[in-house]
Amino acid sequence: MSKLEVGLGERSYPITIEQGCLNRIGTDLRSAYPASRYCIIADDNVAELYGMRLQQEIELAGMACDLLDFPHGEAHKNLATVASLLSRAAQKRLDRKSLIIALGGGVSGDIAGFVAATYMRGIPFVQIPTSLLAQVDSSVGGKTGVDIPEGKNLVGSFYQPEAVYIDSDVLNTLPGKEYINGMAEVIKHGIIRDADYFQMLDQKFDQVMALDPGVLAELIYVSCKIKSAVVAEDEKESNTRRILNFGHTIGHAVEAASDFQILHGFAVAIGMVACARISVLKGILGNDKLAAIISMIKRYGLPTEVPEDLDRNRIKSYL
């Protein structure tokens, strides 16, 4: 087991990284985060895989627990989904002493966190990420929110969880494409903050792709450590935290222009290469570094160019 802390003074919170921790979460929640009622929010896929099991674990620990699901996919990360979940939370009689559990990937974490931030003007929540992307990036830092037709993540809030529980065992049920999707954020962390980490991703490529438990634990730990340190420096993204958006301005535009058919990590990979090329043109980055970034992204099966059939003008409209 590894532990980290996101250092935000009185609002600091722990990140627990442990294989199999999902199996004892009910007991942990009862002792560390007592609540009048627990409410799991997950998409329909994750609800079936892990939601009902987690609900049973919590109920066996002697606590009331509801499970609210919603249709999976970025297309459902919108205000209509949030409104539906808020109504259902009220129907279940959640109160200010209730605790929401965000179970799932990045979309679920963003939605459940935003529901927690807005229900009764804010109730506590914990993150239990089940995708690589969420485990290494989106579950840490308190960004919550949804998309609107005008753009991605334009409605939301900074709202920190009480804790993050990361169980790498759940990645065994993650589709291969979703695993690669998360690797974009891992590569990003190496580029922006840790050259040794970047090299490790190259040297341990085979183990990373084989989901070697030891290497996976190291990967998750280092990425969370990098993300936590940046968030502790600049929680509300007024300065330093902007570095975490490397590749995301262009990436979000590509994602939205594709009607979210291009996964977030794949779009961010395209955005990182585009930003690196701009940096070379501005004399900020050397061609050798650009070549290393492109090589790493390609090695992990991620794209480096905008698909030919994607309307460039539509991409520009989202920038």
Does the annotation count 245 as an active-site position?
Answer: yes
Phi/psi of residue 177, each to 5°?
A: -65, -35
What's the CA gap between 56 and 61, in Å, rounded?
9
Phi/psi of residue 181, each to 5°?
A: -55, -45
Q: Which of 77, 189, 241, 255 is catalytic?
A: 241
Q: Which of 57, 74, 162, 185 is catalytic?
A: 185
Count Cβ atoms within 10 A of the Cβ of residue 268 and give its class: 0-12 exposed, 13-18 middle, 19 or more buried: buried
Does the annotation count 241 as an active-site position?
Answer: yes
User: Cα–chain-centroid distance for residue 16?
Assistant: 15
Does the annotation count 248 as an active-site position?
Answer: yes
Neighbours of 101 (CB within 10 A): 29
Does the annotation count 299 as an active-site position?
Answer: no
Q: Which of 76, 189, 225, 252 is catalytic?
A: 252
What is the DSSP code (8-state) at residue 242? G
Does the annotation count 189 as an active-site position?
Answer: no
Q: Minimal CA–CA distance to 14: which of 25, 23, 2, 5?
A: 5
Does the annotation count 121 as an active-site position?
Answer: yes
Q: Which of 10, 121, 172, 313 is catalytic?
A: 121
Does the annotation count 282 as an active-site position?
Answer: no
Does the annotation count 76 as an active-site position?
Answer: no
- Is residue 12 a contact partner of residue 231, using CB atoms and an 8 Å limit? no
Q: Which of 77, 152, 193, 227 is catalytic?
A: 227
End-to-end CA distance of the chain: give it in Å, rounded: 41
Where would I find the H helices in the chain?
A: 25-32, 44-46, 52-60, 79-91, 106-118, 132-133, 176-193, 195-203, 205-209, 213-233, 248-257, 264-281, 287-299, 312-317
Phi/psi of residue 310, each to 5°?
A: -90, 125
Does the annotation count 204 as an active-site position?
Answer: no
Q: Minimal CA–CA distance to 255: which of 318, 297, 303, 300?
A: 318
- Is residue 111 a contact partner of residue 83, using CB atoms and an 8 Å limit? no
Q: Which of 178, 245, 289, 314 is catalytic?
A: 245
Catalytic residue list = 121, 143, 185, 227, 237, 241, 245, 248, 252, 264
